[in-house]
């Protein structure tokens, strides 16, 4: 802590020191995500953990000349997970199995729920103050699992738990730009709800194309954003789901969390968080824009003005969301 403050006060351009840990770092997402994190100047200590292969990934990435040390750990070192987590500021969790064609994200629950529960237990034990960014599917259930584990351990902080929905946001920008014929880097779409099929709700009425998109274009775009993951699963034909675009999404989200921790102002990203927006209806988590700050979430934004079409999408999303959240909670509380 002292070195972080000292560095900043001596030079306005000095990078802050942050430790970031990737759990599942040798996987399809984990490897490119770790690479992108190695390129982030705010990351000075990168810890990679996987049940297999993380030391090799760490050795490889460590040759890139940026200002961070990289260490890889596996369970062969009995203290590996503890070492990966101790003192970390941000934990990203892409550990778990991906979909094959014909599967829903919920079909991954039986395997991934246990993986996420066990990793969350280790995070609660060794890095209870870290910001935790959950990538493993089904996100709508795995994030509530982390909450319940942390609650049982007495270390839950709702401002530091995030379901990573950034890939939906990237897809929305890209797909909208293809329809509108614009530069995708200038397209910003807020995507709310959750991260699975009809729970993914892009708010296209909040974009600059609100009045130019036809209803047919709006419907087709919305469907493509909701089911964009299926396009990749089908194209990979049994070899997994989105990994490279997800790595970019995860690196962007982690970068924003780090900017917030580092005191940068007005850092806003949509994320699936413990939210008051629909809590009265028993929906404890909802994705919407959040402002990120030194203590994690500083503000959860409302949804703003919605079109009738979007109101209907939200209604549908809430039904699926509630079931997935309750399923995740019950996995821990009824175990």
Which range of residues in 108-116, 257-265, 277-285, 291-299 is near ligand NAD by CB under 6 A?
108-116
Nearest to ligand LMR of 18, 198 (CB atom): 198
Site string for ligand NAD, 218-247 (x = CB under 6 A): ----------------------xxxx--x-
- Give, as one character, the DSSP assignment of residue 24: T
Give the residue, chosen from 34, 44, 68, 112, that forms a contact with ligand NAD under the rule CB under 6 A: 112
In the complex, the smallest distance separating the C-beta of residue 163 from ligand LMR, rounded to whole angstroms, is 11
Tokens of 263: 């005191």
The reply to whether 92 sits near ligand LMR by the rule CB under 6 A is no
Residues 1, 193: Cα–Cα separation, whole Å: 36
Region binding ligand NAD by CB under 6 A among candidate stretches 19-27, 58-66, 186-194, 207-215: 19-27
Which partner from the list ligand NAD, ligand LMR, none does 240 bind, CB cut-off 5 to 8 Å by kind?
Answer: ligand NAD
Q: Is 26 annotated as a binding residue?
A: yes
Indicate which residue of 195, 209, 223, 301 is catalytic. 195
Sign of CA dihedral 242, 245, 249, 254: positive
CA distances from 279 to 155, 197, 286, 311 (A): 21, 21, 9, 17
| CB-based contact 56:81 (threshold 8 Å) | no
Taking CB under 6 A as the criterion, the residue among 19, 38, 42, 105 binding ligand LMR is 105
Question: For ligand NAD, which residue has the nearest CB?
Answer: 27
Query: Which does residue 226 bind out of ligand NAD, ligand LMR, none, counting CB within 5 to 8 angstroms by kind?
Result: none
Alpha-carbon distance 159 to 161, whole Å? 6
| Element housing 187 (H / E) | none
Identify whether the C-beta of residue 87 lies closer than 8 Å to the C-beta of residue 119: no
- Both tokens of residue 42? 């705010």
Of 84-103, which residues contact ligand NAD (CB under 6 A)? Answer: 94-99
Q: Is 124 in the site for ligand NAD (CB under 6 A)?
A: no
- Residue 92: closest CA among 142, 52, 53: 142
Nearest to 139 by CA among 166, 161, 165, 118: 165
User: Cis ω on the peptide bond leading into residue 170 (within 30° of 0)?
Assistant: no
- Contacts to ligand NAD from residues 183-202, by CB under 6 A: 195
Of residues 242-301, those binding ligand NAD (CB under 6 A)? 242-243, 246
Per CB under 6 A, residues contacting ligand LMR are: 98-99, 105, 137, 167, 229, 232-233, 241-242
């Amino acid at each position: 802590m002292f070195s972080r403050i000292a560095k900043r006060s001596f030079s306005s351009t000095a990078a802050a020191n942050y430790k970031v840990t990737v759990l599942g770092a040798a996987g399809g997402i984990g490897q490119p995500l770790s690479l992108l994190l190695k390129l982030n100047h705010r990351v000075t200590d990168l810890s990679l953990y996987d049940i297999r292969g993380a030391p090799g990934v760490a050795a490889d990435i460590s040759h890139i000349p940026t200002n961070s040390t990289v260490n890889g750990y596996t369970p062969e070192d009995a203290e590996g997970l503890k070492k990966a987590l101790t003192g970390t500021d941000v934990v990203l969790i892409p550990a778990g199995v991906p979909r094959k064609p014909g599967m829903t994200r919920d079909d991954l629950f039986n395997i991934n729920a246990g993986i996420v529960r066990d990793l969350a237990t280790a995070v609660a034990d060794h890095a209870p103050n870290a910001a935790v960014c959950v990538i493993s599917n089904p996100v709508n259930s795995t994030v509530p699992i982390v909450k319940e584990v942390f609650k049982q351990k007495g270390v839950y902080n709702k401002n530091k738990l995030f379901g990573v929905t950034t890939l939906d946001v990237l897809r929305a920008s890209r797909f909208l730009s293809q329809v509108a014929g614009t530069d995708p880097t200038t397209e910003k779409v807020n995507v709310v709800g959750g991260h699975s099929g009809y729970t993914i709700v892009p708010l296209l009425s909040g974009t600059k194309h609100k009045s130019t998109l036809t209803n047919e274009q709006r419907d087709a775009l919305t469907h493509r954003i909701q089911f964009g993951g299926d396009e990749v699963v089908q194209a990979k034909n049994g070899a997994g789901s989105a990994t490279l675009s997800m790595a970019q999404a995860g690196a962007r989200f982690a970068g924003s969390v780090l900017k917030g921790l580092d005191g940068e102002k007005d850092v806003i990203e949509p994320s699936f968080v413990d939210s008051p927006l629909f809590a009265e209806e028993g929906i404890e988590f909802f994705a919407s824009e959040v402002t990120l700050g030194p203590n994690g979430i500083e503000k959860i934004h409302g949804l703003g003005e919605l079109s009738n079409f979007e109101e209907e999408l939200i209604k549908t999303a809430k039904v699926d969301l509630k079931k997935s959240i309750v399923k995740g909670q019950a996995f821990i509380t009824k175990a």
